[in-house]
Amino acid sequence: GTGGVLSSVSIKDTSEGYLSPEQWHEEMKKMKEAATGGSSSSSENKSIPDDTVLIDCRNHKEYEIGHFEGSIDPNTKTFEQFPRWVQENKSALKDKKILMYCTGGIRCEKASAYMRRELETVSETTTVKHLKGGIHKYLDKYGGDGFFSGSNFVFDRRVGVDADEHTQNRGKDSTGTGNGSANKRIVGHCLYCKKSHDQFTPDAVCTVCRELTLVCADCKPSLHKEYHCVDHQYLKNCYFSNLSRFTQEELNSQLHELETLFSKIAVGKRYKNLRRTLQRQVGRINHTLVAIKSGTMVGSNTLACRSCGDVKCDGRCWGVHGLKRKLALQKNPQDLDEQPKKAVRLSSNQRSGKVLQKQKDIEEIKRFDLQKPPNSHRCQETCIRCPPPFLRILSSSVKGKWVGKSIESV
C-alpha cells in the first residue's frame, strides 16, 4: 500500500507535476527521436536521453509483462519498498528530468511527491513529473498506437490486458480471458527457459512467498508444481512444499544448503523474516528425515494450493487475491499448510525479555551489596555516599544500524 514513509506525503504535495496523456505522449515521442537521432544502438537502457530518467513505480511482476520502453524497474515487490530505492539512488537522480508512471496514477502521485521532497536537498534543478491517470488513461487514448509495450497488469482475473485489447474491451466485464489481440507485443519471458511469455496463471505462484511467477506451459511439467519467483531463485534447489518425493540423501543436501544460507544472515534485524522462513523449512525437513528413519513416512503427491491453501483445489482458484484463502482458513484450517495464529501481546513488564532483565538486575544488586541503606556506603570524613565500584559488560547479538558507519554520520 501507500503507508509507511509515504504516508507522510500530504494531499497538497500530490497535486503537482501532472502530465496529461497527450503531454506524456509528446515526451515519449521526444525521447524516441532523441534516442534514434543521437545513437544507432537499439538497447532498451539507452533509448532515453542522458538527462531524462523514466521510472516505473509499479512492482516487478507488473513491469515484467509490460512497460514503456527505456523505463527503469526499481525491482520492488511492494510499493512500501520504493522509498528505499529512492534513497539508494538519490545521487544518480541528481539534476535529472524525472518522468514517472504507474497503473492508475495513484502510486506515482505519492512517489513523485516523495521524490520531489527528497531530491530538493540534493539539487534544485531536478524536475519530477508523472502521468496523470496512469497507464489506464494513456491506453484509453492511444491503445496500441502509443509507446507502451506489452500488457498492462490489472488486479483481477485478466491479470494482463494488451494495449489494443484495452481500448476494444473498454466498459466490458472484468472476467475476460486476457488472451489479448493477435498482434500483441510480448515483452515478458518465462523465468526458467527465457522464452517469450507474459501470461500469469493462478497455479504458478512462488513456493516461498506466493508471488505470481511467469512460467510457460512447457516448463511446468518438470517443476512438479513448485515455482520460485525472481527474489527466491536462490532457493530453487533447497526449498519445496512437497518433501515426500525426495530421498534421504536429497533432503540432507537441501538441509545443508539451507544451513549454509542461514549462517550468512544469522545476525542483523534486516534478515529476521528470512531467518524465520529458513528455520521453518529446516524444521520441516528434519521432521521428514525423522519420519523416513522411523519408517512412518507416507509418500503423497497431494500438494495444497499455494494460493488458497485448499488440498482439493486444482490451482485455478485465483485465491492469490486472498478471498478463497480466507474462506478456506475459516472452514477447514487443519488441511492447510499454515495454521491460523492468534497474536497475544503481553504487557511490557510481563514479556520474557523484561522478566529476564529484572532477574539480572536483582542478582547484580545483591552481588555488589547495593541493597544496603544509603548510610552504609557513606564516607565518614566527607559525608559523601560512595558505593563500591564495579564493572558492567554490555553486549548484543544484533548488529546495530551504526555498524560500518563513520562517527560523524552517526
Which burial class, exposed, middle or buried, applies to 170 when counting CB atoms under 10 A from its CB (0-12, 13-18, 19+)? Answer: exposed
Environment class of 157 (CB within 10 Å of its CB; exposed 0-12, middle 13-18, buried 19+): middle
Active-site residue (options: 57, 102, 305, 317): 102
Interacting residues of 275 by C-beta distance below 8 A, sequence separation 6+: 262, 265, 266
The answer to whether the CB of 56 falls within 8 A of the CB of 72 is: yes
What the block records as the C-alpha cell of 54 is 523514466
- Among left, alpha and beta (phi > 0; psi -120 to 50; other), residue 345 is beta
**Pure H helices in 265-334:** 272-294, 323-331
Active site residue 102: yes
Taking residue 244's Cβ as centre, other Cβ atoms within 10 Å add up to: 15
In whole angstroms, give the CA distance from residue 68 to residue 84: 23
Position 182: which residue type? A
Residues contacting residue 167 through CB under 8 Å, at least 6 positions apart: 139, 140, 143, 144
Is the Cβ–Cβ distance between 200 and 160 less than 8 Å? Answer: yes
Judge whether 108 and 133 are in contact, CB under 8 Å.
no
Catalytic residues: 102
